[in-house]
Amino acid sequence: MELVVASAVGVLTAGGVYLILRLRAFPVILGLALLSYAVNVFLFATGRLAINAPPVLQKYGEAAYTDPLPQALVLTAIVISFGMTAVLVMIALGAYIEADDDRIDMTGDDEAAGKDSTA
Amino acid sequence: MSSGSSLLPIIAILPFLGALVPGVMIRAGRSACATFTAIPTILALVMLGVLVPDVMRGEVIQWRVEWLPQLGLSASFFLDGLGMLFAGMILGMGLLITLYARFYLSGEDPMGQFYTYLLLFQGAMLGIVISDNILLLLIFWELTSLTSFLLIGYWKHLPEGRQGARMALAVTGAGGLAMIGGMLILGQIAGSYELTEILTQGDAIKASEWYLPALILILIGAFTKSAQFPFHFWLPHAMAAPTPVSAYLHSATMVKAGVFLMARMWPVLAGTDAWFYIVATTGLVTMVLGALIAIFKDDLKALLAFSTVSHLGLLTMLLGFGTKFAAIVAVFHVINHLTFKAALFMSAGIVDHEAHTRDIKRLGGLAKLMPITAAIGMVTALSMAGIPLFNGFLSKEMMLDAASETAWAGSHWAVPAAATLGALLSVAYSFRFIAHVFLGPVRDDYPSKPHDPPFGMWAAPAFLAVFVVLIGVLPAVVVGPLVAVAGGAVIGGGELPYYSLKIWHGVNTALIMSIIAVAGGLVVLSLHRPLDRLWQAAPRPEAKVIFDALIDASAAVTGWVTRALHNGAISRYLAIFVVATVGLGIAAWNGGALAPRTREMLPIPPVVAVGWVLLVVATFLVVTMHRRRFQALVLIGVIGLMVSVGFVYLSAPDLALTQISVETVTIMLLLLALHFLPKTTPLESPLWRRTRDGVIAVTAGVAVAGLAMAFLMRDFSSISDFHLANSYTGGGGTNVVNVILVDFRGYDTYGEIIVLGIAGLTIFALMEALLNGPAARRLRNADFANDRSRDRHPLMMVIATRAMMPIAVMVGVYIFLRGHNQPGGGFVAGLVISIALLMQYMASGFAWTQERKRIEYHAMIGWGVVVAGLTGVGAWLAGKPFLTSAYGYIDLPGIEEFGLGSAFLFDLGVFLTVLGAVMLMLYSLSRIARYAGETVNVEPMDYDPSSRVEAARNGGE
């Protein structure tokens, strides 16, 4: 099971990193979404894995509980990463509407290349 | 602690408080401004005066407040003889400069600004001399660099002023950095950052193997500040400052800070060979070199600046000798140098002010035109030359005495000869100052006809000149006790060596050296014209050129690095960031030891394997198909779903609930945005680039997977057990995750909902800016008709969402209420209800839904934060810290038992903020549609069957 989680985190990270290295805003946003999954699952996994042991206290008898702290941290992280994604989307959208182009690299070469492609 | 010790922090803070006043008082006039600048200085002087009797008795006054004792940080001050001497000089000179500057600055100069800078600088200097904690001292040390930058560059319109200020900041700032290192080492050796503690550890410090590095670093700081060779070059360039600044910084304060520090550290650092050869040699070289250059300077202030360099060298040399006698001579000369040099600067300023030039070649004969200024200038210059009856003579004799007994590398004549040469040169430039400025025939080509200034302007230098004579005639009476107590502080207590402050010591070596110096100085002066020609013709290294070349070279290097890293392409930054992070991770991995595995792997059931395959395939497809944006979005949804399912399986129901609702909202958001964005991404990167990115991505993925694996296979203890144990008893809830969020880590959550609220408002503001700009026009002209559905508000959907609305709200409320004890809570509830509302927007369109909205989302965010905050504040009423929770249980018949407590209210705040923020974000996005030519629907659906029945009926009648 550990291998499954670790490899999933690795795959999500690799996909996310590849996408954030693209040249357009939208793939970068997708990449950040993938990275958010990866980071959240990774943080959650620092509490180690347990099955059928949710951190909800049972009234009767002894029960095993998994580590609640990473869960609490990840819960807010999920919501915050949504906020971050929303802001990013908004900025990307604004930039696109203003500039009619959703390229994100602003080097001299790229500007020239951008002109070439539109010409 | 003596009774007066609490005055110390007040003295230290007075100039800083006072600095707030001049900027305001300048509106009341220049004199009022100067008066209000003088008040804090006078108050501080009076308080210092109260402490003087105690210090003169040999007491050390201490005051301390611990701040971070673990780091050795405390606000602590102490006052002994040395500190008192310097504090008195700083405050006294500050007062005189305030008076002088009132008359010196012209009406066009912003005087309030000047006085503010002056007081800030004064406060920083004062801080240096009375700090006990060396970390505090370092802060004041840096503050003097910063405030002197402001003062030197006060005339912002002059390029020399700006360049001089920048050079001073660069040199003294760099020295300050070195000194931080030295002081930290010193503190480590001594085991304390308190000066009073360090000063008792002299033997341990000198014996430590870290003594030499600490010494060199501290000396770099002191030498740069006190303009010692080879760092002397900044001081003459700092002369571009207004003369009051020069007089203050370069006579009494800034440049004396280095000397002060060497004197302060004298008991712990001096006395070794390293100290002698570094400090005494540097001082000696600086003394001779400074005096030599001074002779050939035509600018009055430049002459005085190099003379200051020379005298600072003299002081450094005396401290470097390492004998108690020489240290006491240094203290005595500090006082003498202050009196004559400050007066000289002020008279040079008066000459400049009246004659509109300070070029010596254009001056001469001023004694007849401005007799008072000439008298002051001549008296003080004679003192600088070391002529009997003036105070400079006394300390110079004692200096020569000390030098005559010093052997340098086995040679008994090197130091005395060099010291005599320094004295000779100093006589030459002092006499030149007198002869070429004040004596000689009256000329008729001054840029402005000079005459004596008003009393206010010459009062300060005259006051100092009186001291020059008084000390010169009656040294033991006027400053004897002060020298004794300050000198005693420098040498670290114990017996004072034999010395006598009197004019006539008989015919001794020092007197003979002195006579040689005066005679030689007169010869040099008489030969000044040919020597000057020779000097101007000789090639000399120009320090400013070297300095500028160094600065340009380092700017070029940093510019190159910056451009290489920051070329404007974000993909490059991200690539560098990822590679660097992975590299650092690998370095850390190799550098540390890994604990052995302590956990067994859990089995992998087939369902999980299927989920894993789904996730991996979906990720792979997102990457390979990301150019087709809609498909990629759908696949992202699959991944999110798998992650949520994984959370359910791995005992994290709260996370699963949150993930799945966030997932829904995110996809809606991206879909909305994609409507206005291109639907495909063009293929732009060449193959090598995609390969390179792929390699980076896979490396990062493998690294993260390895790290995750390492975590997963090991047990380690954390604070989680505390949360499990105290969740019910302390927080009143059985859902530990929720209790952590709203109770244990409530502060954190409070911050996070504020961030979320800010994100929502940011989006709203961005949209406002966008839609009020040129983008709005572009949007109106854009053609989205092809993307538009013909049945935008389908009947089925409208009906279904209407029916689901109350159910969804019900679910939301339920999740909210049970949150404290069962999976759920404010975050999830907020998301669920926002999804329910969003469905109305989707089904019936923006305008229709907007009209039925009762609450503004902005207000909802605000209320959420306020409710959560007030809940936290409520704890204060019970005398508890912020966000301490109180709770009780309510067992209403018919529904599940639920806890009602302050945490519940806090969660309500979370709920409101989340709901408001999410709605505001999506609502902002959909506003674009209005500008993009979306028709506004007033009906809930496009096609209403009932209206057709109506129409048919109407038509039938």
**DSSP secondary structure, B89-158, as one string:** HHHHHHHHHHHHHHHHS-TTS-HHHHHHHHHHHHHHHHHHHHB-BHHHHHHHHHHHHHHHHHHHT-STT-
Residues 366-405 of B with CB under 8 A from A: none
Report the gap between the CA of A105 and the closest CA in chain B (Å): 4
Closest CA to B316 of B343, B344, B277, B342: B277
What is the rounded CA–CA span in Å between residue B317 and residue B339?
20
Residue B600's pLDDT is what? 83
Residue A110's pLDDT is what? 45
What is the rounded CA–CA span in Å between residue B588 and residue B733?
40
Cβ contacts (< 8 Å) between A95 and chain B: which residues? none
Length, in residues, of chain B:
957
Q: B212: exposed, middle or buried (C-beta count within 10 Å: 0-12, 13-18, 19+)? A: middle
Closest CA to B267 of B346, B201, B361, B333: B201
CB-nearest to A68 from B696, B707, B724 is B724
Q: Helix or strand or coil: residue B259?
A: helix
Residue B788's pLDDT is what? 64
Could you tell me if A64 lies within 8 Å of chain B, comparing CB atoms? no
Cβ contacts (< 8 Å) between B571 and chain A: which residues? 20-23, 104-105
From first CA to last CA, the distance across chain A in angstroms is 53
Interface pTM, i.e. ipTM: 0.90
Residue B672's pLDDT is what? 82
What is the rounded CA–CA span in Å between residue B503 and residue B493?
27
**Domain residue spans of chain B:** 1-269, 273-526, 738-949
Cβ contacts (< 8 Å) between B646 and chain A: which residues? 5, 8, 41
Residue B312's pLDDT is what? 92
Q: Which helix (H) or strand (E) holds B321?
A: helix B300-321
CB pairs under 8 A between A and B: 322
Of the options 2.40.10.120, 1.10.287.3510, 3.40.50.1100, 3.40.50.720, the CATH number for the domain spanning A2-118: 1.10.287.3510
Identity of the residue numbered B289: L
What is the rounded CA–CA span in Å between residue B697 and residue B691?
10
Residue A117's pLDDT is what? 41
Q: Which helix (H) or strand (E) holds B67?
A: strand B61-68
Report the gap between the CA of B850 and the closest CA in chain A (Å): 21
Q: Helix or strand or coil: residue B76?
A: strand
Closest CA to B316 of B291, B284, B272: B284
Phi, psi angles (nearest 5°) of residue B64: -145, 140
Report the gap between the CA of A65 and the closest CA in chain B (Å): 8
CB atoms B574 and A10 under 8 Å: no
The radius of gyration of chain B from alpha carbons, rounded to an integer in Å, stands at: 39
Report the gap between the CA of A21 and the closest CA in chain B (Å): 5
CA nearest B745 in A: which residue? A72
Spans of chain B, pLDDT less than 50? 1, 957
Residue A119's pLDDT is what? 33
